C-alpha cells in the first residue's frame, strides 16, 4: 500500500476515528484505524464494537492495499507534521509516514486487517432521510438533558419516536426535560421508538455540514446514519424510557417574557457566588422585573435585577442555575418565556415567539 494525501484532509478524519476508539486498550486491534486505498480513494474505518465509523477521502494512490495502525500515535504524528502532502507506505507490517519535501519519517507497526472487525451494514430499503439542519437542531435542543446516572441507563440517551408529521426527540434526567417535535417535509416510515446514545449524536453534530440530508436506518437494535462522506452506526440503549407526557404541564398560569442575552449575562455574574453544593439560584419575578440572587453563605452573595414583561402576583422560584443555562443558550430568539403556576411545580421555558420545542425544569425547595 502506498498513497499521498494532504495533511489536513486525513487529520480531520483520523481525529474523529480516535474519538470513537479512545477508551480502547493500546494492545488491541480495536485501538487501530483501518486504512484501505483503491482508485485514488482512501477508506478509513474505526470501531469500538458499539459504534462503527467509515469515511472516504481523495488521495493519490500509487499502490493499492489495506492495513491497520495504532490510531492515537498516527493522530499525534499527523498533528506534529508541517502543512502539505504526506506519503504513506506499508512495508512488511511497518507503515512509513513521510512528509514530502521534508527530511523526516515515522514508522508505525501495523496489525493485519484480517483481525479487524467487520463493520455492520444496514439494509438498503430501510433508509429514510431528514434535513441535516433540522436534525442538528433537534440534538442541540435535547442532548444537554440526558442523564449521567448509570443506574438509570434507560435515561442515558435521547429518546426518538415518530410523530404524525415528523420526529419527536426527548431527553430527561428526572429533574429536567427537553422536548422537540420537528415537522418534516417527507413522511417518516413507522419505527419502534428508540433511545440513542449521546456519543453518536455528538459525532453527528460535529461532522454534519448542515447542508443536504442525513439518512437513517433503524433495525436490529442499531441505528445507521449516512451524511456527506460519512457512515456511522451505533448500538441503541435498551430499556423503557419514562412516560414523558405525564410531567408536561397542560397549562401554566403565569408567563414572563425576558431578554435572552440580558438574562444569560446576569446569570453568569450572579452564579459566581452560588453555593457549589446545591447550585441553588433564586428568581424573584414581579411586575416589570426579575431579580436573580443567591443565598448568603461564607463567601458572600450576589443580586441583579433585569427588566421583564410580567403581570401577575410576585413569586419566588428556586432553581438549579445549571439547568437554566443550557436551555436558554439553546434558544435562538432574542427573547424567551418562563411559564409557571406555583413555586413548587414545574417551570416551562420556551422561545418567544414559540417554536417546536420546550424545556421543563423542576424547582428546588425554597427553605
Per the model's pLDDT, the better-predicted residue between 358 and 125 turns out to be: 358
Mean pLDDT, to the nearest integer, of 164-182?
96
Name the band, by pLDDT with cuts 50, 70 and 90, for residue 364: very high
Whether 264 shows a pLDDT value over 80: the answer reads yes
Q: Could you give the dihedral angle defined by the CA atoms of residues 362, 140, 339 and 159, in that order, rounded to the nearest 10 degrees?
A: -50
pLDDT at 113: 93
pLDDT at 367: 73
Show the cell assigned to 125: 430499503
Q: Tell me which CATH homologous superfamily contains domain 2-115.
A: DNA Polymerase III, subunit A, domain 2 (3.10.150.10)
Whether 123 shows a pLDDT value over 80: the answer reads no
**Which among 203, 138, 145 is positioned nearest to 174, based on CA atoms?**
145
Name the band, by pLDDT with cuts 50, 70 and 90, for residue 25: low
Name the band, by pLDDT with cuts 50, 70 and 90, for residue 276: confident
Show the cell assigned to 122: 444496514
Domain boundaries, the chain: 2-115, 127-246, 249-361
Phi-psi region of 66 (alpha: psi -120 to 50; beta: other; left: phi over 0): beta
Relative to beta strand 65-70, strand 280-286 is unpaired
pLDDT tens-digit readout, 304-338: 999 999 988 999 999 999 999 999 999 999 999 99
Residue 293, number of CB atoms within 10 A of its CB: 18
pLDDT at 220: 81
Mean pLDDT, to the nearest integer, of 142-171?
95
Name the band, by pLDDT with cuts 50, 70 and 90, for residue 214: very high
pLDDT at 65: 96
Mean pLDDT, to the nearest integer, of 6-10?
96
> Across the chain, which distance is largest between two alpha carbons, in Å?
79
pLDDT at 345: 94
Residue-by-residue DSSP string for 150-187: GGGGGGSSEEEEE-SSEEEEEEE-SSEEEEEEEE-SSP
Whether 43 shows a pLDDT value over 80: the answer reads yes
**What distance in Å separates the CA atoms of residue 292 and residue 270, rounded to the nearest whole number?**
7
DSSP 30: G
Mean pLDDT, to the nearest integer, of 196-225?
93
- Fold equal for 127-246 and 249-361: yes
Mean pLDDT, to the nearest integer, of 175-195?
93
Please state, rounded to an integer, the average pLDDT across all residues of the chain. Answer: 93
pLDDT at 81: 95
Helix (H, G, I), strand (E, B) or coil at 43: strand
Residue-by-residue DSSP string for 94-142: EEEEEETTSS--EEEEEE-GGGSPPPP---GGG-EEEEHHHHHHHHHTT
End-to-end CA distance of the chain: 69
**What distance in Å separates the CA atoms of residue 93 and residue 88, rounded to the nearest whole number?**
13
pLDDT at 23: 63
pLDDT at 26: 60
Name the H helices within the chain.
7-21, 71-80, 132-140, 198-207, 260-270, 321-330
Between helices 321-330 and 260-270, what is the axis angle to 10°?
Answer: 150
Residue 7, number of CB atoms within 10 A of its CB: 16
Name the band, by pLDDT with cuts 50, 70 and 90, for residue 127: confident
Q: How far is CA 180 from CA 129, 133, 358, in A?
A: 18, 14, 7
Burial of 218 (0-12, 13-18, 19+ CB in 10 A): buried
Whether 24 shows a pLDDT value over 60: the answer reads no
**What distance in Å separates the CA atoms of residue 108 and residue 82, rounded to the nearest whole number?**
19
The residue assigned the cell 403565569 is: 254
pLDDT tens-digit readout, 78-115: 999 999 999 999 999 999 999 998 889 999 999 999 99
What percent of the chain lies above the pLDDT cut of 70?
98
**What distance in Å separates the CA atoms of residue 159 and residue 173, rounded to the nearest whole number?**
12
**Topology annotation, domain 127-246:** DNA Polymerase III; Chain A, domain 2 (3.10.150)
249-361 architecture in CATH? Roll (3.10)
**Which among 55, 71, 67 is positioned nearest to 15, based on CA atoms?**
71
pLDDT tens-digit readout, 128-137: 999 999 999 9
Amino acid at each position: 500500500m502506498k498513497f499521498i494525501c494532504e495533511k489536513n484532509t486525513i487529520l480531520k478524519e483520523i481525529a474523529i476515528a480516535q474519538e470513537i476508539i479512545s477508551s480502547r486498550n493500546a494492545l488491541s486491534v480495536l485501538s487501530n484505524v483501518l486504512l484501505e486505498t483503491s482508485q485514488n480513494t482512501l477508506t478509513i474505518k474505526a470501531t469500538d464494537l458499539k459504534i462503527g465509523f467509515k469515511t472516504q477521502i481523495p488521495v493519490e494512490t500509487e499502490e493499492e492495499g489495506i492495513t491497520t495502525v495504532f490510531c492515537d500515535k498516527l493522530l499525534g504524528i499527523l498533528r506534529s507534521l508541517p502543512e502539505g502532502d504526506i506519503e504513506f507506505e506499508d512495508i512488511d507490517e511497518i507503515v512509513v509516514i513521510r512528509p514530502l519535501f521534508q527530511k523526516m519519517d515515522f514508522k508505525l507497526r501495523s496489525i493485519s486487517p484480517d483481525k479487524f472487525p467487520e463493520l455492520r451494514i444496514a439494509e438498503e430499503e430501510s433508509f429514510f432521510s431528514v434535513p441535516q439542519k433540522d436534525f442538528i437542531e433537534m440534538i442541540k435542543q435535547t442532548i444537554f438533558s440526558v442523564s449521567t446516572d448509570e443506574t438509570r441507563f434507560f435515561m442515558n440517551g435521547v429518546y426518538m419516536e415518530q410523530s404524525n408529521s415528523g420526529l419527536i426527540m426527548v431527553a430527561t434526567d428526572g429533574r429536567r426535560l427537553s422536548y422537540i417535535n420537528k415537522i418534516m417535509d417527507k413522511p417518516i416510515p413507522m419505527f419502534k421508538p428508540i433511545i440513542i446514545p449521546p456519543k453518536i449524536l455528538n459525532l453527528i453534530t460535529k461532522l454534519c455540514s448542515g447542508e443536504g440530508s442525513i439518512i437513517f436506518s433503524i433495525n436490529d437494535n442499531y441505528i445507521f446514519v449516512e451524511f456527506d462522506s460519512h457512515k456511522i452506526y451505533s448500538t441503541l440503549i435498551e430499556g423503557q424510557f419514562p412516560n414523558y407526557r405525564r410531567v408536561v404541564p397542560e397549562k401554566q398560569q403565569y408567563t414572563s417574557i425576558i431578554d435572552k442575552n440580558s438574562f444569560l449575562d446576569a446569570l453568569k455574574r450572579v452564579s459566581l457566588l452560588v453555593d457549589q453544593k446545591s447550585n441553588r439560584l433564586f428568581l424573584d419575578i414581579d411586575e416589570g422585573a426579575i431579580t436573580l440572587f443567591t443565598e448568603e453563605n461564607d463567601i458572600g452573595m450576589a443580586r441583579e435585577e433585569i427588566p421583564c414583561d410580567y403581570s401577575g402576583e410576585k413569586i419566588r422560584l428556586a432553581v438549579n442555575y445549571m439547568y437554566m443555562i443550557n436551555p436558554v443558550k439553546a434558544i435562538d430568539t432574542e427573547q424567551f418565556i418562563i411559564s409557571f403556576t406555583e413555586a413548587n411545580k414545574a417551570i416551562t421555558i420556551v422561545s418567544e415567539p414559540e417554536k417546536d420545542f420546550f424545556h421543563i425544569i423542576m424547582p428546588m425547595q425554597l427553605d
